[in-house]
Amino acid sequence: MTTAPTAAGSTGRRPRGAARRSRAGTAFVAGYLVLLIAFGVLPTGYAVYFAFTSAGGTFTGFDNFVTAARDFRFLDSVGHVAVYLVCWLVSLVVFVVGLALLLHRLAADGTGKALRFLYYVPGALAGAAGVLVWLFMLDPTVSPVRPLLAALGFDTFGEVVAPGNLPVLFTVIAFWTGAGGWIVVMYGALNNIPRDVMEAARIDGAGAWQTARRVQIPMLRKWIVYMVILAFAGGAQLFVEPQLLSLASVGVAGRDYSLSQLTYDFAFQLNDVNSAAAISVELLVVSVSAAALFVARSGFFDAD
């Protein structure tokens, strides 16, 4: 009795090219796993250990979480971050999707290429560098948009960075530094929509608004969910913007505005690393829970 040869040959071995590609893929994944474990899993486990122990290493249960929650600044920081997240996520979804749709319609000429470049330029600046640019822009004494600030009733830097204005300012800064990359991502996703689908919508008489609302945006749903998950996790860890504003404004913007700032204060001002770790673990749990909710409600992993 003879055995039928396999597709790869009578010996059943994989072609050499496939084996090389498999080894290359394994090497790439292995490198990522090493970095993930070294800079992700191990630090997280270390923080969890500190969150449930005392300075001497004794297990304390939830005592560190209670200590952090009883701090008079904790609830205010939670409220600040919550308001910022609402402003940030709403502006991100609305304007990123809207600008990506506009960019897609202008892609046929040189305007689209120029806009893609302009959208991405702010993202080339590191977070701290971007905030420093905005410190210059928001100071009426040196800002190139001083007439606009004066028209809005701002004559001093302290008036601009008053606590009531901070959620909007942080949203503007975060959008300027981070939205460009997402616009390019959404633009790429729009280019992956099959041409026959777009052509069918055009033949059915759908205008630009109807095509965007009924065809393009629904097909961007998973990309939008992915963007929201990462933006939520990043926004919950708000730190650089309020920290630099606090230093520049000499305390007008508090150094405990966000939870990450409060964590920093616990660790390096109060020398209470365990309570700082407890707040970090809380941020991790909230971010993971929010991501799980977004994934579950959106059908992120459902086959299209």
pLDDT in tens, the chain (304 residues): 455 555 444 455 556 666 677 777 888 888 889 999 999 899 999 999 999 999 888 999 999 999 999 999 999 999 999 999 999 999 999 999 998 888 888 775 556 666 666 666 666 665 667 777 888 888 888 888 889 998 988 988 888 888 889 999 999 888 888 888 888 888 888 888 888 888 888 888 888 888 888 889 999 999 999 999 999 999 999 998 888 888 887 777 778 899 999 999 999 999 999 999 999 999 999 999 999 998 888 877 776 6
Token pair 């923080």 is at which residue?
47
Which distant-in-sequence residues (6+ apart) come within 8 Å of 48 by Cβ? 277, 281
pTM attached to this predicted model: 0.83
Token pair 């969910």 is at which residue?
225
Token pair 């600030």 is at which residue?
149
**Polymer length of the chain:** 304
Answer whether CATH 3.30.70.1450 is correct for domain 72-298.
Answer: no
